[in-house]
Structures are given as structure tokens and as C-alpha cells.
Amino acid sequence: YEAFSNKLPEYKKTDLLFEGVKFESVEMDKLLTYFDLFTADITNAVDVDILTKDNIKSQMEFKVQVPRLNHVPFNVRMKVNSDKEQKAVMIMFVGPKYDSYGNILNINENRNNFWELDRWVVDFKSGENNVERKSNDFSWFVNDRTTFYELYKKLMTAVNGGEKFPLDMSEAHCGFPSRLMLPRGRVGGFAVQFFFMIMPYTAPTVERFGGFDPSISCGVGSGSRYLDNAPFGFPFNSHFDIHDYKTPNMYFFDTLI
């Protein structure tokens, strides 16, 4: 991998510049993580003797509680100046600030440690723009799915003349768990840095979600997921000119979790 990585082209400042657009400031709510007790239904996984199965298992539910990492929802507020009305793409990454020895990592040493939180289209007006994004609206992330046992109970309730079963109830088949959006914090604060970048919007070759239904599609070959025509992971998909790469359309925001 290192041999391949060393052959990647290097992004120059001109490759990353979006003229006429400039970050003025970024503000973010306090980032808090915690562990909550999650109740998992394991009824279908419990083996009951066949002679007592109908009499016992049908009357019982088996559940376990496990601690899971979670976070408090947060908002991000950005002030951006644009010299004209235009459509742009806002990119948001997060990554560690220091290595395991407490040394600050430069961008090329650290680029593979950044992961993309969100990427969305913004319509800028001429002058100052206030952009707000809620963590609950971030792309790539999905909430917990309804368990099979809950679906079964809803179905049987409907069959027996109770509450109508919602046939249009759909949930994402794949996506990263929303509760794992942030790494585990520390009592004294875990230092991270958010990276924001604005780039001109260029429509992808294949329209986003063309041939793709998030409620039933998942995996390779199930349609286009790309918002624009930028390479996946851009701009961390390649090296930077370490001596001169920062542009007004970039912003690093240091904070603690």
C-alpha cells in the first residue's frame, strides 16, 4: 500500500482553490460521547427443546442488554463569503490532531486518518452566507433498524384485526451506524480536527441515485451514490504540497470530544 500511495499525484494549491469563496468562521456545539444500554432481542437465537417449544418459547421473549457508544446530536455553523451567486459543494471530514506520542501530524502523515462525515450542495448568494448543518442530516449514516421480532408483532397485530401494518415502511439497507459517527471521547477531551472545504459543484456523469433505491439497494452495482464528479475521498485521496496547499475555501477547526 505504501508503494502505491507514494506514486499518487500531489495536489497543488491551484488544484484545491475555489476563487471567490472564503471561510470567515466555523462554530460547533460541544461534542459529547457516552455509552447507553441497548436492549437486543435474541428470541430467534435461543434454542428451546422441541417438546416444550410451542408451550414455552411462544410465550417468552429473550433479551440482552449491551453498552454501545453513542453521541449527543450537534450542529455546525459556518460563515462563508462568496463573490457571486453560485452552487457549491461543502465537504466535512474529521480526524485526529496528534499521534500516539502527542506529536502533531502533518496533512500527508494524517490524511488516511480522516473520514468523511458529510458532503452536500449549497446555493450561495453574493456576500455573506450563514450555513448550518445538523449531525442528524449527515450523509452516509443510518439509524438502528426495526428488529424482525418487532416487525413480526406489527404484522400479527394487523392480521388479527388490530393496527394496520404500514406497507410503505422502508429503512436503509446499508450505511454506517449514526451512533458511531464520532470516536469515543475522554473526560479531559480527545483532540480532533474538523476539515471543511468548499468546491464548485459539477454534476456527476451518472445522476445521483440513478438506478438506486436506498430502501432496497445496497452494495456495488446498485446505482450511483456520488453527489458530484470529485474522486471518492477528495481531497484526502492523494498527497498535498505540504509547503503550500491551504486556500481560503478550506478551514481547519480544532476541538475536543
Alpha helices in 10-147 (DSSP H): 13-16, 50-56, 107-110
34 pLDDT band, cuts 50/70/90, is: very high
Q: Tens of pLDDT along 196-214?
A: 999 999 887 777 766 666 5
Residue 148: band (very low, low, confident or very high) from pLDDT cuts 50, 70, 90: confident
Q: Are 31 and 185 in contact (CB under 8 A)?
A: yes
Digit-coded pLDDT (tens) for 74-128: 999 999 999 999 999 999 999 999 988 989 989 998 999 999 999 999 999 999 9
Stronger pLDDT, 245 or 153, i.e. the higher one: 245
Cell digits of residue 191: 483532540
- The secondary element (H helix, E strand) that includes residue 3 is helix 2-6
> How much is the pLDDT for 54?
57
Considering only CA atoms, give the Rg of the chain: 23
Give the residue carrying C-alpha cell 414455552.
56
Strands (E), 112-156: 115-124, 127-134, 141-142
Q: What are phi and psi of 23, to 5 degrees?
A: -75, 130
| 160-170 pLDDT per residue, tens | 887 777 766 66
